[in-house]
Amino acid sequence: MKLTTTFAAGALCAAALAPIMPASAHHSTAMFEWGKEQTLSGTIERYEWTQPHTFVWIMVPKGQGGETQEWGLEGMSPSWLGRRGWSLHTLHPGDKVAIVYYPLKDGRPGGFYVRVTMPDGKEMEALPRRAPASAPQGR
């Protein structure tokens, strides 16, 4: 019960907050439409648990003919995600997931992943939900 209450309160707080600022990133976010949430669903091709960023390669259905297109989504680093409940075993090839992401500005099939709805319906956050007032800003 306590856990559920905490989650509900967290969701409410999160909803009230402005788009997330990257307290942690390896680089400028100029190539993404930062804060503009889009959703895609597909099948995980590969999850790269690497520095300076994790990377999701996912096959996404395209059109009605059963064709798929590969998308590449960058995410926070193992240094950040690994200390917040993620691991290299969080996503597996073949997993069917829905991913909220910030798209690339230039329209290529890529972006930055924000949260993932796992095959069991559980949601995994992949970005800080709110920006600390004076966060040290990195790459």
Partner 1 sequence: MIRPVLVLAASATCIAAVLSGSAQAASAAAPEDAAARAHAYDALAKLPDWSGVWDPTFSPGQRPPAQPKLTPPYAAQYAKYLQANRTTPGLNFVSAVSSCVPPGVPMSMQQPYPIEFLFTPGRVTILIETDHIIRRIYTDGSAPPADPDPSYQGTSVGHWEGDTLVVETSAILPETSPLMGINGHSDKLHVTERIHLASPDILEITTTRTDPAVFLEPYTTTASYKRHRDWKIMEYVCEQNNHDALDRNGNAAFSLEHKPGEKQ
Tell me: does residue 60 bind partner 1 (CB under 8 A).
no
Q: How many Å apart are CA 60 and CA 41, to the nearest integer?
A: 6
When binding is defined by CB under 8 A, the residue of 28, 38, 39, 87 that contacts partner 1 is: 28
- Our CB check for partner 1 shows the closer of 96 and 139 to be 139
Of 58, 36, 33, the residue nearest 45 (C-alpha): 58
When binding is defined by CB under 8 A, the residue of 6, 29, 38, 87 that contacts partner 1 is: 29
Q: What does DSSP assign to residue 25?
A: -
When binding is defined by CB under 8 A, the residue of 40, 42, 53, 99 that contacts partner 1 is: 53
Strands annotated E in the chain: 38-48, 54-62, 67-75, 96-103, 110-117, 123-125
- For residue 4, what are the CA distances in angstroms to 1, 9, 12? 5, 9, 12
Tell me: does residue 62 bind partner 1 (CB under 8 A).
no
Tell me: does residue 80 bind partner 1 (CB under 8 A).
yes
Interface ranges with partner 1 (CB under 8 A): 19, 21-32, 34-35, 46, 48, 50-53, 55, 57, 72, 74, 77-80, 82-83, 104, 108-110, 128, 132-139
